[in-house]
Amino acid sequence: MKYSVIDISSSSLSLTVAETDGNPDTTEIVFKDRANLSLPYYLVGDKLSARGIDKLLDALAVAKEKCSKLGVNACWLISTAAMRSISNFDEVAAAVEEHTGLRINFLDGGTEAYCDYIANRRYAACDRAVLVDLGGKSIEICDLSKSEKSDMLCLDFGIMDLHHKFVSRLQPTEGEADDVKKYVKSKFDDAGLPCGDTFATVVLVGATNRAVYDVYAEYAGEAAEDGVMTIDRKKFKKMVKYLLTDAERSGLILKTAPEKLSFVIPAAIVLKTLFKRFGADNIVVSDSGVKEGYLRLVLDGSESGEYYDFISALAVAASAPAAPKKRGRKPGAKSASKKTPAKRGRKPAAGNAAPKKRGRKPKAAEETAAADVAAAEEAQTAAEENASPAE
């Protein structure tokens, strides 16, 4: 059996496909994919615009088609922080179901953090481990020595919020970076986040943290050993300084993580702050997150979600008379019939403007700003290319 989970996040639409005999312990990830999709940029007030809905439908149609080609039996569609602030969620969900047959399973902050925990609890064997997932609209932090959902922390701001609140241009100045650091320290204090020697190991989860790691690996000239991705805290500290002062900083990010051009530096500032707060020197990067955790939970019955049954859809399509082609319709639009609704609540049966910083040379600042502007133009081109559906 093949199962898939599609996740609508703040900056992308990602897909994971796993193969299993129904036992969560024997599940193997066989395919992963990610498409750039920043829904918060399509908000008009607190509503997702018609253009934003169209972009979402197009991306979902592509992801669903990939599932079909891979022989997926059942697919769960989940949404995390990206949809929490959207007031017309019901309208968006209705459009998604009408055009794709998929029903959105909305995860609250606690459940999102718990899914992260479930996917990474193997790291509990490490010395005093804590999980950190930096999202666009939320931050999850989980003490891996604890196992209850109520123990998991989800903060209601993310890297996208920090960039919007404090960064006046593409990349933050040193002064803006200080503002970000002061703000997150205050938020961590208010949340009662432990400090001192509470944690020795930090497990980084999610696409933004992976992008930060890719930039770090290029900067430090390091590569994963035996598939294990680690970060040296001292080298990371030097990298953050480079990202805040060097005119070539955007070039480094474009080389390794162009889709996260605006978010890598704010994320690195947050991580540096957390590493110092925890006093942790053992930093590892995980390749599992919310989707993997959610799939495990629905397969073992701990969570119930509505899924799209590809087997039933194929049966309905085979028995339906051929419909005349419609002209002028976008590929992927209305790819599912209302006659093949998502299954409810059970898993499928087996077999189915910043102030100037004193002391800096104006020329260096001008070079950095010019480099950032050039990088933004290059990033826009890269984002447009990456957003094109892959065959």
- Output the pLDDT for position 363: 43
DSSP three-state, residue 225: strand
Phi, psi of 189 (to 5 degrees): -65, -45
- Which H or E element spans position 297? helix 290-299
User: Would you say residue 311 has pLDDT above 60?
Assistant: yes
* pLDDT exceeds cutoff 50 at 24: yes
- Is 367 a residue whose pLDDT tops 80? no
Q: State the pLDDT confidence band at 345, using cuts at 50, 70 and 90.
A: low
pLDDT of residue 334: 42
Is 353 a residue whose pLDDT tops 50?
no
Mean pLDDT along residues 364-387: 54
Task: Give the mean model confidence (pLDDT) for residues 137-145.
Answer: 96
Residue 286 falls in which region: left (phi positive, over 0), alpha (psi -120 to 50) or beta: beta
CB 350 within 8 A of CB 1: yes
Q: Tell me the torsion sign for CA atoms 121, 146, 14, 220.
A: negative
pLDDT band at 100; cut points 50, 70, 90:
very high
With 70 as the cut, is the pLDDT of residue 32 above it? yes
| pLDDT > 70? residue 108 | yes
pLDDT tens, position by position, 154-183: 999 999 999 999 999 999 999 999 999 999
Residue 371's pLDDT band (boundaries 50, 70, 90)?
low
Tell me: pLDDT of 47 over 70.
yes
Lowest mean pLDDT among 76-80, 224-228, 322-326: 322-326
- pTM, rounded to two decimals: 0.82
Look at residue 275 and tell me whether its pLDDT is greater than 60: yes
The predicted pLDDT at position 225 comes to: 86
What is the rounded distance in angstroms from the CA atom of residue 11 to the CA atom of residue 160? 9
Q: Does the pLDDT of residue 373 top 70, yes or no?
A: no
Q: Count of alpha carbons within 13 Å of 48, Cβ hemisphere only?
A: 26
- Whole-number average pLDDT of the chain: 86
Q: What is the pLDDT of residue 317?
A: 59
- Residues 265-281, mean pLDDT to the nearest whole number: 97
| CA quadruple 207, 140, 159, 282: dihedral, nearest 10 | -70
Mean per-residue pLDDT for 87-98?
A: 96
Q: Is the pLDDT of residue 330 over 70?
A: no
- 118-136, pLDDT tens digit by residue? 999 999 999 999 999 999 9
Task: State the Cα–Cα distance between residues 183 and 46, nearest whole angstrom.
Answer: 24
